[in-house]
Each structure stands twice: as C-alpha cells, then as structure tokens.
Amino acid sequence: MRKLLIVFFTLFILAGCATESYITKQPDILSEDSIIETAKKYIGSTKFDCSSYVRQVFMENGIKLPRTSEEQYQVGINVVTGLLPDDLLFFTTTTLTGKISHIGIYIGDNKFIHSGSHGVRIDSLEDKYYRRRYIGARRVKE
C-alpha cells in the first residue's frame, strides 16, 4: 500500500510539472516600453530564431510564452484592428498557404522587430514582402 501511495504521489507531482501555464497579464512593474526596450537590446544578434527571440524578450518581462510561433499564435487575444506596441505579429514565410512560420513584435508606426536569417532587426509592415505574408496579431499584454 505504501509503495502504491509513493507511486501515485510521484505521478501526481510529475503531472503538475508537465502542465504549462502562460501568463497573459502584465506584471505591475513593467513600464510601458519595457518589452520594446528589451527587444531592441538584441538588434544585430544572430543567436535566435524568430519564436525563441520573442519568447526570450517576453520572458525577461515576466510573460511566459510557448516555444514555437504556431503555439504562440494560440496565446492571448486576437487583434483585428488597432495594433498596439508589444502585440505579436504572425506571418507565413515558407509558402502562401496560411501556415504560421514567422513572428515579430509590433513597435508602433507600422514597424516591427523580429529575428530572421539576418539577425534581429526592425522592418516595416508596409514592406511588400511582409504585407503579403501577414496572417494576424495577438495581444498577450493587457
């Protein structure tokens, strides 16, 4: 009986470890521009792919995101109009099939920061390449 309880307790603890919980409420300590400031400090860095870059920036600001851009697209609320700084922007870059394959962070003035093959940089949503591949936006900060 004791062994059964130990096994049950161990499985209970492990099941709790496997459960992911994503914080979508901004901590009170965040300044209005802290995510963008954090994002900009990595400009030029080539050590991230797009989704790990966004995840790192948000994690440094107390917001946990999943690992891939497809998983990140499931977090927060859908933004149809009225983009705000810190909104997550999603793109399809491999084909025009609509499958999410790229993510960036909106910084205002129709610009976003993201990591790609040339490292972390700022681009415009008005750029034909990104305008054609834009899928949508999600807001994970209130």
Is residue 50 part of the annotated active site? The answer reads yes
Which is the catalytic residue, given 36, 61, 100, 102? 102
118 annotated active-site: no
Q: Is 117 exposed, middle or buried (0-12, 13-18, 19+ CB in 10 A)?
A: exposed
Among residues 54, 73, 114, 120, which one is catalytic?
Answer: 114
Cβ neighbors of 56 (< 8 A, separation 6 or more) are 42, 48
Given the residues 35, 36, 39, 50, select the one marked as catalytic: 50
Inter-residue contact 38 to 60 (CB < 8 Å): yes
17 in active site? no
Location of structure tokens 């459960």: 19
Q: Which residues form the catalytic set? A: 50, 102, 114
